[in-house]
């Protein structure tokens, strides 16, 4: 699931105006690692340039929390008027009390205590959805992971169904929607500049609307009638549009970040067959058909959960974005109204003071036996403050169970090991053009250790 994302490359400039970047904010969005140290050199708040616009990047953790939680002073990206055609009247575009009221309405259905029994249904749904994954040719990983996650969210969280053709169309539309929203927001200060692929975005939005309506119509409520769609329907007072806008936001958010996490997980599994073998062994022990519901939890799958945390650390949303409603101060830095304020999650996740060998992919750093123990909360995977992802509890169960189920039934291999994987420019970065073979499992085939050199181990290009 996703809160809100919002970023540049370069080196510090003068002491009077420490600039981390000049006209490269979008490049930084794709490559947060290069700025982790330089942000510290620039101070708690770094004033940067993005073309003609000025942006402020917050480096101090306490200031990050202050900005991220200060809804009265700082506006979240999804509430920007430029995104009205996308957010509609749903909770994602609402602010203040209206936003809090809609979230409070959904909270009981999306709270962890209610979702603890989702594990077996996620396992079973994953197995069914994997039946449509080709075995004789390379698959487009971002599209297939979008299809898998969309199906899981619809079946297990939203308690509904969708036709296979519409599910496939929704998976293809995800990238267009994500990139379209990114560009609409990035170009909002210059409304006369046309956003790229506007027609494609409108068609993709139509696909999302069709999927939302079908999910709404095919919904099968829980026996107690307190699942999230039932709550939305009852709260709409026979005005389905109100419920549809919230349902559309939940559906898109439910797909976006989780599909990215699973796509990057596939990429890392292809690079590290030893980790793939370890997750498979853990999945065999935990995901049996007779496994009790309470066994299918992240704490029962530490190797899988640690793998996902490491994927999030290196490939998660690099920034959260806010804009001050009026002129204010962030620390000692004056910030004008409407300026872009970025919270560099990607840089903090590569902070060498927090993580040994920060550029190395090492899921074992999250092992229960590792010392010192790392806090998963420090990753802020679901944002913070009033815009904290409402579906975080669902994602915490869905993601590891889906990944373990995938590895248990398929062997993932890269099609061209020496190929550079680029990163897409979307709300949540995706491995652009990543294709892999997802062959049926070969239980006894030997797996060679993953690459060990720095050059072999990280062929991702972030342009």
Alpha-carbon span 409 to 402, nearest angstrom: 11
The CA distance from 112 to 396, in Å, is 9
Binding residues: 389
Q: Are 12 and 42 in contact (CB under 8 A)?
A: yes
Q: Cis link prior to 372 (omega < 30° from 0)?
A: yes
Tell me the backbone φ, ψ of residue 145, rounded to 5 degrees: -70, -30
Residue showing tokens 């898109």:
252
Looking at residue 409, its pLDDT comes to 94
For residue 149, give the nearest of 397, 339, 357 by alpha carbon.
Answer: 397
| pLDDT at position 289 | 66
What Å distances lie between residue 3 and 20, 128, 154, 248, 387, CA to CA? 25, 29, 19, 15, 6
CA distance 32 to 314: 9
C-alpha distances in Å from residue 131, one per residue of 298, 409, 410: 24, 10, 11
CA 354/CA 336 separation, integer angstroms: 32
* Contacting residues for 271 by C-beta, under 8 A, at least 6 apart: 361, 414, 450, 451, 457
State the CB neighbour count (10 A cutoff) for residue 72.
10
Tens of pLDDT, residue by residue, the chain (463 residues): 445 443 332 322 322 332 333 233 444 444 544 455 455 566 788 887 766 677 888 888 889 999 999 989 999 988 898 898 898 888 888 988 998 999 999 999 999 888 888 888 999 999 999 998 998 899 999 999 999 999 999 999 999 999 999 999 999 999 999 999 999 988 888 888 888 889 999 999 999 999 999 999 999 999 999 999 999 999 876 677 888 999 999 999 999 999 999 999 999 999 999 999 999 999 999 987 676 656 677 788 999 999 999 999 999 988 889 999 999 999 999 999 999 898 888 888 888 888 999 989 999 999 999 988 898 888 988 988 888 889 999 999 999 999 999 999 999 998 877 777 888 888 898 999 899 999 998 754 444 444 443 334 455 544 4
SS3 319: coil
Provide the token pair at 405.
Answer: 């189920």
Query: Tokens representing 64?
Result: 């990050």
CB-CB contact of 388 with 3 (8 Å): yes
Query: Are 415 and 141 spatial neighbours (Cβ–Cβ below 8 Å)?
Result: no
Q: Is 54 strand, coil or helix? A: strand
| Structure token digits, residue 22 | 């000049």
Give the integer Cα–Cα distance in Å for 262 and 22: 33
| Structure tokens, 267 | 């990429």
Alpha carbon distance 378, 386 (integer Å): 17
Helix (H, G, I), strand (E, B) or coil at 135: coil
Residue 17 CA to residue 138 CA, distance in Å, equals 49
Domains within the chain, CATH numbers bracketed: 86-313+359-461 (1.10.630.10)
Give just the sign of the alpha carbon dihedral 215, 219, 222, 226.
positive
Q: Do residues 344 and 316 make contact, with C-beta atoms less than 8 angstroms apart?
A: no
Cβ neighbours around 420 below 10 Å, total = 10
Binding positions for heme are 389
Tell me the two tokens of residue 32: 């947060």
Q: Indicate the Cα dihedral angle 378, 384, 390, 391, nearest 10°.
A: -20
d(CA 8, CA 192): 24
Residue 57, burial from CB neighbour count under 10 angstroms (0-12, 13-18, 19+) = buried
Answer yes or no: are the C-beta atoms of 405 and 287 closer than 8 Å.
Answer: yes
């Amino acid at each position: 699931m996703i809160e809100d994302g919002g970023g540049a490359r370069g080196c510090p400039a003068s002491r009077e105006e420490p600039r981390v970047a000049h006209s490269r904010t979008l490049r930084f969005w794709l490559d947060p690692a290069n700025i982790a140290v330089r942000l510290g050199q620039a101070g708690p708040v770094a004033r940067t340039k993005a073309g003609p616009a000025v942006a402020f990047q917050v480096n101090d953790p306490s200031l990050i929390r202050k900005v991220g939680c200060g809804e009265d002073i700082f506006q979240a990206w999804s509430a920007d008027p430029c995104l009205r055609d996308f957010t509609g009247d749903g909770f994602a575009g609402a602010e203040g009390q209206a936003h809090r009221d809609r979230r409070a309405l959904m909270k009981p259905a999306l709270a962890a205590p209610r979702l603890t029994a989702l594990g077996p249904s996620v396992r079973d749904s994953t197995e069914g959805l994997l039946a449509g994954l080709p075995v004789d040719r390379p698959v487009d990983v971002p599209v297939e992971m979008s299809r898998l996650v969309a199906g899981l969210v619809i079946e297990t969280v939203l308690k509904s169904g969708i036709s296979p053709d519409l599910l496939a169309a929704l998976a293809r539309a995800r990238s267009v929607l994500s990139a379209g929203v990114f560009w609409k927001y990035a170009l909002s200060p210059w409304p006369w500049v046309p956003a790229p692929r506007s027609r494609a975005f409108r068609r993709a939005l139509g696909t999302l609307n069709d999927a939302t309506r079908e999910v709404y119509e095919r919904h099968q409520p829980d026996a107690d009638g307190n699942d999230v769609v039932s709550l939305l329907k009852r709260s709409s007072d026979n005005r389905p549009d109100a419920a549809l806008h919230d349902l559309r936001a939940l559906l898109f958010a439910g797909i976006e970040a989780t599909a990215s996490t699973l796509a990057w997980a596939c990429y890392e599994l292809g690079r590290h067959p030893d980790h793939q073998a370890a997750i498979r062994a853990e999945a065999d022990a935990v995901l049996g058909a007779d496994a009790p519901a309470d066994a299918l939890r992240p704490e029962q799958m530490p190797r899988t959960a640690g793998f996902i945390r490491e994927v999030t650390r290196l490939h998660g949303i690099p920034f959260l974005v806010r804009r001050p409603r009026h002129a204010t101060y962030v620390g000692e830095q004056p910030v004008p109204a409407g300026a872009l304020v970025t919270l560099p999650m990607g840089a903090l996740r590569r902070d060498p003071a927090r993580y040994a060998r920060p550029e190395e992919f090492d899921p074992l750093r999250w092992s229960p036996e590792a010392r010192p123990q790392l806090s998963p909360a420090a990753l802020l995977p679901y944002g913070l403050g009033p815009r904290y992802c409402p579906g975080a509890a669902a994602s915490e169960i869905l993601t590891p169970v889906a990944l373990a189920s995938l590895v248990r039934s398929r062997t993932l291999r890269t099609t061209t090991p020496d190929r550079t994987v680029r990163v897409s420019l979307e709300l949540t970065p995706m491995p652009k053009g990543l294709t892999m073979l997802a062959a049926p499992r070969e239980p006894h085939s030997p797996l060679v250790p993953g690459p060990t050199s720095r050059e072999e181990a990280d062929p991702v290009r972030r342009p």
